[in-house]
Amino acid sequence: MNWVDTNERLPVAKNDFYVVSVTKGNFTFLAVAFYMKDDNKWLYMDKGSPGEEVTDEVIAWAENHSTYTR
């Protein structure tokens, strides 16, 4: 897995899920988000479905990581 700075590039896949690093005030946290390429916006994942829009700064997203299911 590697992190990509959003200033360098954004995901190229259309409507896919990513692990993102979000900065809110003085705090940075990880979240799972859905990227809408056509609208260039991120949505938090809520119980497996896209939820509220990420209004704080997404500073990086992860690519090349394994997917695990239960």
Reported as a single tens digit per residue, the pLDDT across 2-41 is: 899 999 999 998 778 899 999 999 999 999 999 999 999 9
Find out whether 32 and 43 touch, Cβ atoms under 8 Å. no
CA-based nearest residue to 42, from 61, 69, 63, 29: 61
Q: For residue 51, tell me if it sits in a domain.
A: yes
- With cut-offs at 50, 70 and 90, classify the pLDDT of residue 68: low
**Full-model pTM:** 0.82
Q: For residue 30, tell me if it sits in a domain.
A: yes
Q: For residue 69, tell me if it sits in a domain.
A: no
Domain containing residue 39: 2-63
Q: For residue 70, tell me if it sits in a domain.
A: no
Total structural domains within the chain: 1
Find out whether 33 and 17 touch, Cβ atoms under 8 Å. yes
